[in-house]
Amino acid sequence: MTRTENSRITLRLQSSCLDVYKKDLMERALEARQSMSECGICCEFVPNDYFRKLSACQHAYCKICLRKHISFAIRESRTEIPCPGCSAQIHPNDVRNYCHQTPELLQKYEDFSLRAALIKIPDTRWCPAPDCGFAIIVPNGSKCPKITCQRPECKTEFCFDCQKEWHQGRSCRDTEKPAKSNDVVQSRPCPRCRTPILKEDDGSCNHMVCTMCRAEFCWLCLKEINDLHYMSPTGCTFWGRKRWSGKKKLLVQIGSLIGSPVIIAATAVISFPLIIGGLPITVGKRVYKKMRNASKTKRVISTAAAVTGSAIAAPAIATFAVAVGVPFAIGYTYVVVPKALIHDVIEYAHRHRIATEPVASSG
């Protein structure tokens, strides 16, 4: 056997060994991949034994991401922690199991959960003394508003109604202190549970959600609200630092009552041809863009059919929109606005009467 033949045999053996080695590596990688799953939070492939299943919804995530998700929610003072993949609430037992390595965080969750449970009791009040926060349940507390904290080290006396230190001989309104103009951060109580809420005075969104009781309220008027609050003439704006003045609200309300018929009629006249002409164009553009991977003939035929169909349906859609929108706008203008106008006039007269009343002497 010559040297050339030996070298050929050696190369063949090396090549076959490499093939076997590559095949073995691919099989091992495939087996490892089969024993791993993708985490829905970090989108990384993690060994299956790293996953933890939630008892409420049976969704599973890697333990590191799940612990971070729960820890972040607790630091935000949230007791109802949602599953990252659905709206189900994570069970408290899961929170305890996955956060047992951080006792201080778990203690914070227990404190928040207890407070959230007590908030649901209307007669619960918290001591306003610094570093106290002792909860007291006082049935019919408005009849005898003076409360004494039952914590032995505290014994602070405070008011049941305003939850401030007891103000003998003064009303709760007299104890209110206006915020200073140079304050960057202000604290205001939630209208439902009275939990202090912090917000920077930068004119940002005034729609607030309490982290304890999940109440939605307005930062400007401190009232629980719905989605129509900022659309109604309340003087509150979605963004801004302060409410409209009483005169501005009255002018806007009176102006809307006088000018609404003209505005509503002009809107109906303009919107009818816009819907009829704009609907076929919009539908045609969307269908043409959606069919970009189809053949040219099919794309043209589909676009033409969509434009024709929408052009036929456009008058009916425009008629329906005007027939529903105009009565709704008229009803809103002449039901909601007059109601708010009467309320504001009464409130303005009440404030003016209080301001002009002589202050009684205290002696």
pLDDT band at 183 (very low <50, low <70, confident <90, very high): very low
Using the predicted structure, report yes or no on whether residue 298 has a pLDDT greater than 70: yes
Q: pLDDT for 109-130, tens place per residue? A: 888 888 888 888 888 888 888 7
Which residues, in sequence order, are CB contacts of 343 under 8 Å at separation 6+?
none
| C-alpha span between 329 and 262 (Å, rounded) | 12
CATH architecture of 185-243: Single Sheet (2.20)
The CATH 2.20.25 portion of the chain extends over 185-243
For residue 244, list its beta bridge partners. none
Distance CA 267, CA 272 (A): 9
79-114 burial code (b ≥16 CB/10 A, e <16): bebebbeeeeebeeebbeebbeeeeebbebbeebee
Look at the domain 49-120 and name its fold. Herpes Virus-1 (3.30.40)
pTM score above 0.75: no
Active-site hit among 62, 144, 205, 218: 205
pLDDT digits (tens, 9 = 90+) for 184-210: 456 787 877 777 788 877 778 888 888
Is the CB of residue 219 less than 8 Å from the CB of residue 212? no
User: Which pLDDT score is estimated for 96?
Assistant: 86
pLDDT in tens, 1-50: 555 655 555 555 555 556 656 666 666 656 666 678 888 888 888 888 88
Check if 236 is active-site: no
> Angle, nearest 10°, between helix axes 103-119 and 63-75?
50
At which residue do the structure tokens 């201080």 appear?
Answer: 104
Q: Residue 361 pLDDT > 50, yes or no?
A: no
Measure the CA–CA gap between 189 and 192, rounded to whole angstroms: 8
